[in-house]
């Protein structure tokens, strides 16, 4: 059987369609405004100042020092950061993911490496957004972006640095500046949220073990300094987060930590349920996530002798066997962190972190499966009509999820725009009574703001009860005694 690499125009079409879908997500995000914690943090920054606000968060609420810094910076700038947050996050995420995958594309000698890297980066991010448990709280909410999207951006950049060092065989002084950057990236990322910090530390430790056992000597010499530096940086970050005095106060809102047996049982239960739900929640997206890397691995084979080399075959088989249990173990680690903290499942927004592990594991497994299948194929510059038709048919199937997602997402625009207008009007109304000396303010009830953005329910908006914590945050932000929705 013969097969050749897909033509460049087909890759361009795939890149354009996936990119359009990502832009649709970012466009809907343009209609987001302050929600819940945003008000309290903004009030804290305005009253205490930039530095003191971070100190107060660390001492009285959470040890997430990077989160405190970035949120304080955003609140210092003001509400104008919220509508552009999803677009900025998307640009940074896409850039970091493309650059990281591009290093691997050069190492494995793919045709059209930059184009293919861009396509796979778009696929991963699209799968994340289209199958997110709560896209509003994970990707549109400013708090969620900083907690759950920024660490993934930094992870992709860190992974790219390691791949670049391996590709260039960097060592000694040539690697020093990148080594410092790797330390900074891992230190900042681990200070954003506990689940990610534990995941990063565990992932680096596993990478060291696997690299020591299976990597070639040149690759090991290049990657180990970055992995060791990242591990030390992650451990230091976790120490700072864990020792924060504010953790005790925050923990008082949750049940006591579970014992080891209950921690293990609940973690396994939630992690298994999460993986099963991922397949059920967005089956077409998962199909594209598996099909595209598999197809690329088959269509980008090297020479027959290169493909049939025993080390390559063994590495592909080993990856197929190891990736599923390793991926599940990392997902389990994420859920164990949540169970330990709250004696329950991770909140929907925090599942964005294990979802990234699921997406990357699935795409990587599909690629290695395709690479193994490519052993039985030979390349040709003259594909048959049946092969060309089959390739186009598969590409069309891969395009179904982003096209459907784009259509569904753009349908949210009128409602999202109306929700933003309601918030803008409320903001003007809230500031006007304050200027007139009003102390108790009533605003129109809007109970569907998040559902207008694509969430299943609304949880972060002003409540009907003025004593609700969200209402108190809003009252503090606007400088009034109370706020209620009627």
Confirm if 356 and 151 have CB atoms less than 8 A apart. Answer: no
C-alpha 324/C-alpha 330 separation (Å) is 10
State residue 448's pLDDT score: 79
| Residue whose tokens read 């990234």 | 356
C-alpha 206/C-alpha 213 separation (Å) is 11
C-alpha 426/C-alpha 434 separation (Å) is 12
Q: Which domain holds residue 85?
A: 8-33+79-411
Query: 379-385 — which CB contacts under 8 Å span 24+ positions?
Result: 379/2, 379/3, 379/4, 379/5, 379/301, 380/2, 380/3, 380/4, 381/4, 383/2, 383/3, 383/4, 384/2
Confirm if 128 and 355 have CB atoms less than 8 A apart. Answer: yes
C-alpha 456/C-alpha 135 separation (Å) is 10
Confirm if 370 and 297 have CB atoms less than 8 A apart. Answer: yes
Of the three residues 393, 411, 429, the one that is the final residue of a domain is 411
Residues 443 and 406 in one domain: no
Residues 406 and 418 in one domain: no
| Residue whose tokens read 């991010």 | 125
**Domain count of the chain?**
2
This prediction has a pTM of: 0.91
Residues 407 and 421 in one domain: no
Residues 344 and 379 in one domain: yes
State residue 2's pLDDT score: 43
Q: How distant, in Å, are the alpha carbons of 76, 163, 452 from that of 65?
A: 16, 28, 32
Q: Is residue 294 part of a domain?
A: yes
Q: Is residue 73 part of a domain?
A: no
Render each residue's pLDDT in the chain as its tens digit; 486 residues: 445 566 788 889 999 999 999 999 999 999 999 988 899 899 899 999 999 999 988 898 888 999 999 999 999 998 999 999 999 999 999 999 999 999 999 988 888 899 999 999 999 999 999 999 899 999 999 999 999 999 999 999 999 999 999 998 877 777 888 999 999 999 999 999 989 999 999 999 999 999 888 888 888 888 999 999 999 999 999 999 999 888 888 777 778 888 889 989 999 999 999 999 988 888 999 999 999 999 888 877 554 445 455 556 788 888 889 999 999 999 999 999 988 887 778 888 999 999 999 999 999 999 999 888 877 765 444 555 666 666 777 778 889 999 999 999 999 999 999 988 988 888 888 887 665 677 888 888 777 788 888 888 888 888 888 888 888 988 888 888 888 887
Residues 393 and 421 in one domain: no
Q: Is residue 63 part of a domain?
A: no
């Amino acid at each position: 059987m013969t097969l050749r690499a897909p033509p460049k125009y087909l890759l361009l079409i795939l890149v354009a369609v996936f990119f359009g879908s990502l832009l649709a997500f970012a466009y809907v995000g343009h209609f987001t405004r302050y929600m819940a914690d945003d008000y309290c943090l903004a009030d804290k920054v305005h009253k205490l100042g930039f530095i003191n606000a971070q100190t107060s968060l660390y001492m009285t609420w959470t040890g997430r020092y990077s989160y405190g810094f970035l949120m304080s910076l955003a609140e210092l700038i003001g509400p104008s950061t919220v509508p552009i947050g999803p677009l900025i996050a998307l640009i940074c995420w896409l850039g970091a993911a493309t650059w990281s995958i591009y290093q691997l594309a050069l190492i494995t000698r793919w045709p059209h490496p930059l184009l293919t890297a861009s396509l796979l980066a778009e696929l991963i991010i699209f799968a994340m957004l289209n199958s997110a448990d709560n896209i509003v709280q994970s990707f549109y909410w400013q708090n969620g972006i900083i907690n759950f999207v920024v660490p993934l951006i930094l992870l992709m950049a860190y992974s790219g640095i390691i791949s670049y060092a391996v590709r260039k065989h960097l060592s000694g002084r040539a690697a020093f500046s990148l080594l410092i950057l790797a330390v900074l990236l891992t230190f900042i990322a681990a200070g954003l949220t506990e689940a990610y910090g534990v995941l990063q530390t565990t992932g680096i430790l596993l990478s060291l073990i696997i690299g020591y056992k299976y990597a070639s000597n040149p690759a090991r010499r290049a990657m180990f300094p970055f992995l060791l530096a990242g591990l030390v940086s992650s451990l230091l970050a976790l120490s700072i987060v864990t020792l924060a005095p504010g953790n005790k106060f925050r923990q008082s809102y949750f049940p006591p930590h579970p014992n080891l047996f209950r921690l293990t049982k609940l973690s396994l239960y939630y992690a298994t349920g999460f993986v099963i739900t991922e397949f059920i929640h967005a089956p077409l997206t998962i199909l594209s996530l598996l099909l595209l890397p598999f197809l690329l691995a088959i269509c980008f084979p090297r020479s027959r002798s290169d493909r049939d080399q025993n080390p390559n075959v063994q590495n592909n088989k080993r990856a197929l066997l190891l990736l599923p249990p390793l991926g599940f173990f990392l997902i389990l680690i994420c859920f164990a962190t949540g169970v330990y903290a709250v004696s329950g499942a991770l909140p929907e927004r925090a599942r964005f972190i294990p979802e990234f592990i699921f997406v990357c594991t699935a795409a990587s497994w599909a690629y290695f499966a395709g690479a193994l299948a490519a052993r039985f194929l030979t390349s040709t510059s003259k594909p048959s009509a049946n092969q060309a038709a089959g390739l186009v048919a598969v590409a069309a199937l891969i395009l179904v999820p982003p096209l459907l997602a784009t259509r569904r997402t753009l349908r949210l625009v009128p409602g999202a725009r109306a929700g933003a207008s309601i918030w803008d009007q409320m903001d003007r109304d809230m500031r006007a009574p304050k200027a007139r000396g009003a102390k108790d303010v009533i605003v129109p009830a809007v109970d569907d703001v998040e559902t207008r953005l694509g969430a299943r329910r609304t949880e972060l908006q002003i409540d009907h009860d003025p004593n609700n914590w969200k209402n108190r945050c809003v009252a503090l932000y606007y400088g009034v005694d109370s706020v209620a929705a009627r």
